[in-house]
Homo-oligomer: A and B are copies of this chain.
Amino acid sequence: LSELSQNPKENGMHSIRIIGLDADDTLWHNENIFEQAHIRYRRLLSEYHDAQTLDEALLKTEKKNLRLYGYGIKGFMLSAIETAISLSGGRMRTKEIQAILDMGKEMLDHPVELLDGVAETISTLAESHRLILITKGDLKDQQSKLAKSGLSQAFSQVEVVTEKNPDAYAKIFQRHEIVPAEFLMVGNSIKSDILPVLSLGGAGVHIPYHLQWVEDCVEETPEPSERFMVLDSLQKLPAILKK
């Protein structure tokens, strides 16, 4: 980090009153649950196909179905069943489809595992800033995870959106009377959490997670500026914001 970004008076973060926080892979682990599911899926279908063929076919099915299914585990389950049937050329047995259903239910029922230091950091941030949870995905699933996380009291609002684009953030700004110059978005996705908010005049803090869904990857991270920085942990945010 440059010295500039460490000093809130100069780094453009001193004006921040409201912090938007992404949830999956920013507050709690999520992509590792999908990664584990992919491993089980490859094993389940290993007699029919190699891992790469499976991964590519599943991703292609997921992208094709995104318009209808949106993000989330239920859509993943349906795409995984469709891919399995299609790739096996009809040789698939029902017990393998049942195994995909069981796997998806375990994913939905998975305990919420917070990233290191998140509970304490969110509690600290809530003392000085208004916090809004902004997450994309399945409403039922995200609300269930928030309830299990034990963090819900810290957030003054919760916004579950189907897509994190400039239009979605603009609507959130309007609904909560948010001035973009006072808004900071924190998350693990450059594409979903950072770029749309910077484009609207807000600030962004990128906290990379070690796994990312390939469709959420962007090639370039913006240059650090007074409105954008990269941190390796949420635990470092309170110090950055402290005046």
Give me the interface of A with B, judged by CB distance under 8 Å.
Answer: 65, 68-71, 74-75, 77-78, 81-82, 85, 88, 90, 92-95, 97-98, 101, 104-105, 108-109, 138-141, 143, 157, 160-162, 175
B93 in contact with A90 (CB, 8 Å): yes
Chain B residues near A157: list those with CB within 8 A.
175
| Residue in B closest to A79 when the chains form the complex, CB atoms | B101
B138 in contact with A105 (CB, 8 Å): no
Chain B residues near A161: list those with CB within 8 A.
139
- Contacts A139-B139, A140-B162, A160-B139: A97 and B81 contacting too (C-beta < 8 A)? yes
Chain A interface SS verdict (over half):
helix
Tell which of A74, A105, A140, A175 has the most Cβ of chain B within 10 Å: A140
Please name 29 pairs of A and B residues whose Cβ atoms are closer than 8 Å in the assembled complex, sorted by A.
A68-B108, A68-B109, A69-B74, A69-B108, A70-B138, A70-B139, A70-B141, A71-B140, A74-B74, A74-B75, A74-B78, A77-B78, A78-B104, A81-B81, A82-B98, A82-B101, A85-B97, A85-B101, A90-B93, A90-B94, A90-B95, A94-B94, A97-B97, A138-B138, A138-B139, A139-B139, A139-B162, A140-B162, A143-B162
B101 in contact with A94 (CB, 8 Å): no
Number of copies of chain A assembled together: 2
Chain B residues near A74: list those with CB within 8 A.
69, 74-75, 78
Chain B residues near A85: list those with CB within 8 A.
94, 97-98, 101
Q: How far is the CB of A107 from chain B (nearest CB, A)?
A: 9
Complex: how many Å from CA A162 to CA B85?
31
Complex: how many Å from CA A74 to CA B94?
19
Chain B residues near A81: list those with CB within 8 A.
81, 97, 101
| Residue in B closest to A77 when the chains form the complex, CB atoms | B78
Chain B residues near A162: list those with CB within 8 A.
139-140, 143
Chain B residues near A139: list those with CB within 8 A.
70, 138-139, 160-162
Chain B residues near A93: list those with CB within 8 A.
90
| Residue in B closest to A160 when the chains form the complex, CB atoms | B139
| Residue in B closest to A68 when the chains form the complex, CB atoms | B108
Complex: how many Å from CA A171 to CA B171?
19
| Residue in B closest to A71 when the chains form the complex, CB atoms | B140
Complex: how many Å from CA A222 to CA B162?
37
Which are the 5 A-B pairs with shortest beta-carbon distances?
A: A70-B140, A139-B139, A74-B74, A68-B108, A85-B94
